């Protein structure tokens, strides 16, 4: 049975090797889990999937292979017109309370029987597969526990959903949660052992002890850390208010992934000063020149902003909406990108609108077309660029 499962994962473009498959078989032979599909799911994911970015792809392949309801469709497909809803029926609370719920086994057996017996479309009934009724099979009606077939969830009481699900892959264009952002940011990791020797070097200790004819010779080593240094400049306020949640997720993930992280805020475009505290941004300024001089070229510079503003804010002295800047923003962006050759710009605006906004085009040119969307695919592309 598991050989077809292995090929199902390979067809889903999961990088599953024969060695990993044999590890799964060894774990099953050793009895590390009981007779539970949930336990098998976690065991299979642990042994076969080595990259969190592939979890969603594995979930869909696993579901396609082990979905018991899907197997019922092998004998008969449900015609589309059976599921076309013509009316929407509303039941009173009393009517809903009078509808009995089936148990799991009865529900599955009854569905199999309906598939064999039903010959035409039904609507508003309590028995057949259809729409707008109280039958446990179909959609658009009500049943305390049923199988939704097609349509969209309404009462959220279905115990199983039978339809082709349309997912957005985690590893393509998904707009991210913190966990997925961390997965993408890890592509920028570069580990090194630096600092005081505080950690036991087990391999070196074994070799040194063996070389000393069995006399214990303990060797220590510095702790292993991600040595990548990141300088984060974040646009705040104005049009960026629409993206607060996603930028906060990105900021939180970055703080968790990078030990050497420095950050500052700006509004719309970078000028002669930036700040760390938005409530005191005019009283506690940090000169942009000081930022350029303070951090070495080994820092990776990441701008985060929607680049949505008047073109004058980028190109003209005095163009800032908040104060009379002596030099245009374009000058400061060029100085920063020259000071930090490894740089990129992360834009939370949908990539499809970039070409219609002049300011985005200007910023994209100033950062040498190193602008990426705030999606998993975009972040992974940005991290790969910064590692070169």
77-104 pLDDT, tens digit per residue, is 555 555 545 444 555 555 445 545 555 5
203 falls in which pLDDT band (50, 70, 90)?
confident
Question: Residue with structure tokens 């993408």?
Answer: 184
Rounded Cα–Cα distance for residues 260 and 327 (Å): 31
CA atoms within 13 A on the CB side of 56: 15
294 falls in which pLDDT band (50, 70, 90)?
very high
Backbone angles phi, psi at 29, to 5 degrees: -65, -35
303 falls in which pLDDT band (50, 70, 90)?
very high
Across the chain, what does the average pLDDT equal? 75
pLDDT at 202: 82
Q: Any residues with CB less than 8 A from the CB of 6 and at least 6 apart, and which?
A: 16, 21
Token readout for 17 is 């090797």
- Taking a C-beta distance cutoff of 8 angstroms, is the pair 94, 108 a contact? no
pTM above 0.75, yes or no: no
pLDDT score of 280 more than 70:
yes
Rounded Cα–Cα distance for residues 200 and 221 (Å): 6
Beta bridge mates, 373: 347
pLDDT at 81: 55
322 falls in which pLDDT band (50, 70, 90)?
confident
Q: Which 8-state DSSP code applies to residue 267?
A: B
Torsion of CA 235, 239, 240, 244, to 10 degrees: 160
69 falls in which pLDDT band (50, 70, 90)?
very low
């Amino acid at each position: 049975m598991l050989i077809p499962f292995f090929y199902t994962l390979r067809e889903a473009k999961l990088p599953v090797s024969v060695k990993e498959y044999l590890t799964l078989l060894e774990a099953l032979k050793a009895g590390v889990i009981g007779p539970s599909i949930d336990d098998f799911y976690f065991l299979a994911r642990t042994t076969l999937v080595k990259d969190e970015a592939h979890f969603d792809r594995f979930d869909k392949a696993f579901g396609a292979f082990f979905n018991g309801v899907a197997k019922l469709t092998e004998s008969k497909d449900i015609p589309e017109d059976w599921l076309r809803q013509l009316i929407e029926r509303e039941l009173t609370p009393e009517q809903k309370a009078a509808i009995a719920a089936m148990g799991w086994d009865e529900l599955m057996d009854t569905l199999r029987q309906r598939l064999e017996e039903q010959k035409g479309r039904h609507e508003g009934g309590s028995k057949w597969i259809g729409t707008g009724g109280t039958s446990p099979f179909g959609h658009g009606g009500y049943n305390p526990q049923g199988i939704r077939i097609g349509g969209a969830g309404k009462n959220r009481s279905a115990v199983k959903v039978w339809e082709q699900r349309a997912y957005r892959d985690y590893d393509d264009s998904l707009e991210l949660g913190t966990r997925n952002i961390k997965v993408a940011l890890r592509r920028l990791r570069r580990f090194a052992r630096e600092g005081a020797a505080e950690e036991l070097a087990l391999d070196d200790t074994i070799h040194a002890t063996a070389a000393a004819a069995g006399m214990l010779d303990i060797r220590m080593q510095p702790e292993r850390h991600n040595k990548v240094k990141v300088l984060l400049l974040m646009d705040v306020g104005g049009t960026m208010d629409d993206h607060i949640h996603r930028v906060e997720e990105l900021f939180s993930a970055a703080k968790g992934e990078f030990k050497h992280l420095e950050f500052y805020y700006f509004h719309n475009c970078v000028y002669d000063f930036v700040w760390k505290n938005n409530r005191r941004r005019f009283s506690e300024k940090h000169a942009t020149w000081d930022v350029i001089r303070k951090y070495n070229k080994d820092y990776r510079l990441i701008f985060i902003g929607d680049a949505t503003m008047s073109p004058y804010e980028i190109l003209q002295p005095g163009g800032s909406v908040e104060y009379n800047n002596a030099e245009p923003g374009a000058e400061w962006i060029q100085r920063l990108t020259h000071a930090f050759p490894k740089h990129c710009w992360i834009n939370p605006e949908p990539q499809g609108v970039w070409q219609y906004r002049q300011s985005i085009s200007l910023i994209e040119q100033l950062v040498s077309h190193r602008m990426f969307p705030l999606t998993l695919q975009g972040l992974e592309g940005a991290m790969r660029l910064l590692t070169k």
